[in-house]
């Protein structure tokens, strides 16, 4: 049952939600400076001061910036122009927020509705990265 929920149902729902939310499919521009990072699309603009980043994590393919335990932004490394930018971003994160302290993958399996929601949102974000419009 768990495998069906994890790999079947959640993935299908995440893909459907991604198809329905056209704003998620738009190109986003992400920039950063010493004070903040920001993301912009044709529909929205998000500005986040470094002091509002609770924690961050890194995997081989992404950076994950947490605003809280259940709210995070995923920045795919494939969006960076080269390895030097990735390294510079990592150094800035360490300088502004300390060493990576978050899990490499957001959302730990927990026995609460919040945990299930985190996992769902994580899967939805991964599906969006793997299956762009």
Q: What is the mean pLDDT of the chain?
A: 79
Number of H helices, E strands in the chain: 4, 6
How confident is the model at residue 74, as a pLDDT?
82
For residues 47 and 38, the answer to whether their CB atoms sit within 8 Å is yes
Cβ neighbours of residue 74 closer than 8 Å, sequence gap 6 or more: 62, 63, 64, 106, 125, 126, 129
Name, in order, each residue with C-beta under 8 angstroms of 32's C-beta and a sequence gap of 6 or more.
38, 89, 92
What is the full per-residue pLDDT of the chain (133 aa) written as tens digits?
555 555 566 677 777 877 888 877 888 888 999 999 998 988 889 999 999 999 999 988 889 898 888 788 888 899 899 999 999 999 999 999 999 887 655 544 333 444 555 566 666 666 677 776 6
3-state secondary structure of 57: strand
Write the pLDDT tens digit of every residue in 26-48: 888 889 999 999 989 888 899 99
pLDDT of residue 86: 95
pTM, two decimal places: 0.66
Look at residue 85 in the predicted model and tell me its pLDDT.
93
DSSP one-letter string for 65-104:
EESSSS-EEEEEGGGSSSHHHHHHHHHHHHHHH-S--S-S
Which pLDDT score, from 0 to 100, does residue 113 have? 44
> What are φ and ψ of residue 65, in 5° steps?
-110, 120
């Amino acid at each position: 049952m768990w495998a069906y929920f994890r790999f079947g149902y959640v993935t299908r729902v995440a893909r459907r939600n991604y198809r329905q939310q056209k704003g998620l499919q738009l190109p986003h521009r992400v920039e950063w400076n010493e004070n903040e990072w920001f993301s912009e699309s044709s529909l929205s603009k998000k500005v986040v001061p470094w002091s509002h980043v609770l924690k961050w994590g890194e995997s081989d393919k992404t950076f994950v910036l947490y605003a809280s335990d259940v709210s995070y932004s995923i920045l795919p490394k494939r969006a960076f122009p080269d390895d030097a930018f990735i390294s510079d971003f990592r150094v800035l994160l360490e300088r502004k927020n300390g060493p990576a302290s978050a899990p490499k993958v957001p959302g730990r399996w927990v026995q609460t509705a919040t945990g299930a929601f985190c996992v769902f949102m994580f899967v939805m974000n991964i599906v969006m990265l793997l299956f762009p419009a």
